[in-house]
Structure 1
Amino acid sequence: MEKPRNLTEAIKQAKDYLAAMSGREKLLIGVGLIVLLGLALVQIYGSISAGFSSQSVEITRLERDLNDLSTLLDRYTKVKSRRDAIENQYKSVEINEGVYSHLENLIKKFALVDSGFTISENPQLKFGGNYLQLPFVVKFTTTNLKALVDFLKQIVEGPKPLVISRLNLTRSRGRDSLDVELEVSSIKRAS
């Protein structure tokens, strides 16, 4: 059999070769071609299926990340707006008489304690990068629970709010009074 020079010659040679074959040979070649075609289709399907499966896993992961991101963005927005509100609240606070004098006035006016209290100043600390925290420890004894509540409310919600970072209430032995110890801080923008 000589080598074909173009496609039409190759097709003519293939037809002649098939015509010379017996029925059994044609059947075997047909079954062989069908098996090869089937194996090729299975291989192609496996590759496509694996690709779709990995894409499905990736899409599921991305959807989960998107839901997490949405939740985190909502949380970030709430925290940021809360931070901005707190900054605005403290930005306008100017305690001209000093924090020590302000605390002393609050104790006398709202806690109804005229004497026997102590206010000690602790070293200032950095607070959130742009701010300074000026902590004070206040100690006094009271018998008037309502006055104590008014005092604490005035510290946090009054016109010159301070931050309460620690509060210890201890019932005095043998008396109907409370020993109060609290750490109060003034927050101011760092210069």
Structure 2
Amino acid sequence: MKKLLFLLFLLPYGLYAQELPSLPTDATTGKFFVTETVEVPGLSQKDLHDKAQEYLTKSYKAPASTIQEDAAEKIVFQGFKKLTIKDEKINTTYPLHFVLTVTFNDGSYQYKVTDFSPDKINYYTPQSLKHPDQLKFKNKKEKQAYTTVYITYLEGMKGIGKDLQTGIKRSLLAKTPVKRR
């Protein structure tokens, strides 16, 4: 009976601990990255390149200055995504800069997003995007604020690749070029 009461007492603390998202880290550079290979049977390398290029040029302002390399087999793109962070104490928007590399083959393409960096650094910005358990905080509120920002950044990083994948898929299905929403 005492063990049961003890376990019931600890249950709320176990529920409070949350599993935080994480991203793979490149062993050589130590940088976070998001990558995926997308199979698109029946489409040539050129078709996939053209659709990705169409999506990037229509979805971002000044694409000529953001596309760093544009070859038949690869596009390297430097962009940013606005992340809105809301919490009890935080209500702000940060740009998250990134480098997107898309490589094309017949029937598939692979994207890799890396070199993530915030535009401005302040108290709440995870400067090195360290896991909250790796850092020391003054109090629980400070840790919670950092954790909120950390999660927002990681989810934003994951979203960049998914946005590309969705945009290319929409371009492939559209009869006319897809315009920016």
| TM-score, normalised with respect to structure 2 | 0.25
Structure number with the bigger relative contact order (C-alpha 8 A, sep ≥ 6) is 2
Taking structure 1 as the reference length, the TM-score comes to 0.24
Tell which structure's C-alpha radius of gyration is larger: 1
Larger strand percent = 2
Higher helix fraction (1 or 2): 1
